[in-house]
């Protein structure tokens, strides 16, 4: 199948609602008019590309990529985050850029506007990137981020989570999402998570523990597959679209 062609329209029912009073900043950010799904254009169906030569050897190792000193690793519970990037038709998306950013083990971001009381880890930058292999697989070695409070209601806390950005075969296939952790009780108390009204869709953002990829006496593993919109194909009488 060619990598070129129109994109499959997004399913609005799988996205968070834009307006939810319990998530107070959505009140001012939400659009006043209904959203429209437009047909994709050539600029959205092609590029951009990201070359292997632009990645460093530690870009997907957040435990070491900020300090770059094996004797000074990041502090926290070591984990392996891994999975596959697929399209709507369960086909792997190879050579695609996956970027992540997260808080440290105490729940604080390395950002000038983060004023949470938890200390910064001098050896943890909180971001990484990698390219998927031929089977769409990716992985990051990192630490499990801490929960943190945020000024929404009187005592709201964000669950432990990792932010993810993925470029598919084109800009129109970019996805920005979050990964939560299995068993975190704060997921059910988070107003941001609650903007996803279908519990089945919210559960897709929760990574299960994967002991098959854990390393004894080193790290636990969490598996998180990512699905991007596929591309339309010409419809043939003996071949279903997308097959």
Residues serving a catalytic function are 109, 148, 158, 161, 163
Angstrom distance (rounded) from CA 133 to CA 127: 20
Angstrom distance (rounded) from CA 61 to CA 72: 13
Angstrom distance (rounded) from CA 76 to CA 78: 6
Tokens 């630490």 locate to 143
Given its phi and psi angles, is residue 174 left (phi above 0), alpha (psi -120 to 50 degrees) or beta? beta
Give the residue among 224, 158, 221, 220 at the shortest CA–CA distance from 192.
158
Sign of CA dihedral 142, 50, 37, 232: negative
Assigned token pair, 35: 């959203």
Given its phi and psi angles, is residue 242 left (phi above 0), alpha (psi -120 to 50 degrees) or beta? left
Give the residue among 185, 183, 179 at the shortest CA–CA distance from 142.
179
Assigned token pair, 27: 């009140």
Tokens 């609650």 locate to 194
Sign of CA dihedral 207, 211, 212, 218: positive
């Amino acid at each position: 199948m060619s990598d070129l062609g129109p994109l499959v329209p997004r399913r609005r029912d799988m996205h968070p609602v834009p307006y939810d009073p319990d998530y107070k900043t959505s009140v001012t950010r939400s659009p006043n008019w209904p959203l429209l799904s437009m047909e994709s254009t050539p600029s959205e169906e092609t590029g951009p590309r990201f070359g292997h030569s632009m990645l460093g050897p530690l870009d997907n190792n957040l435990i070491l990529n900020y300090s770059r000193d094996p004797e000074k690793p990041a502090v926290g519970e070591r984990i392996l985050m891994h999975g596959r990037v697929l399209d709507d038709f369960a086909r792997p998306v190879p050579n695609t850029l996956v970027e992540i950013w997260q808080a440290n083990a105490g729940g604080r971001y390395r950002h000038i506007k983060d004023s949470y009381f938890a200390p910064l880890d001098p050896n943890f930058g909180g971001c990484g990137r990698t390219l998927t292999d031929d089977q769409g697989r990716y992985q990051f070695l990192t630490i499990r981020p801490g929960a943190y409070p945020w000024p929404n209601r009187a005592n709201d806390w964000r669950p432990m989570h990792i932010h993810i950005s993925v470029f598919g075969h084109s800009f129109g296939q970019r996805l920005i999402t979050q990964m939560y952790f299995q068993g975190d009780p704060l997921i059910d108390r988070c107003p941001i998570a609650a903007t996803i009204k279908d519990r089945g869709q919210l559960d897709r953002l929760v990574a299960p523990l994967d002991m098959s990829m854990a390393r004894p006496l080193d790290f636990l593993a969490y598996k998180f597959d990512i699905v991007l919109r596929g591309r339309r194909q010409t419809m043939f009488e003996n071949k279903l679209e997308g097959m």
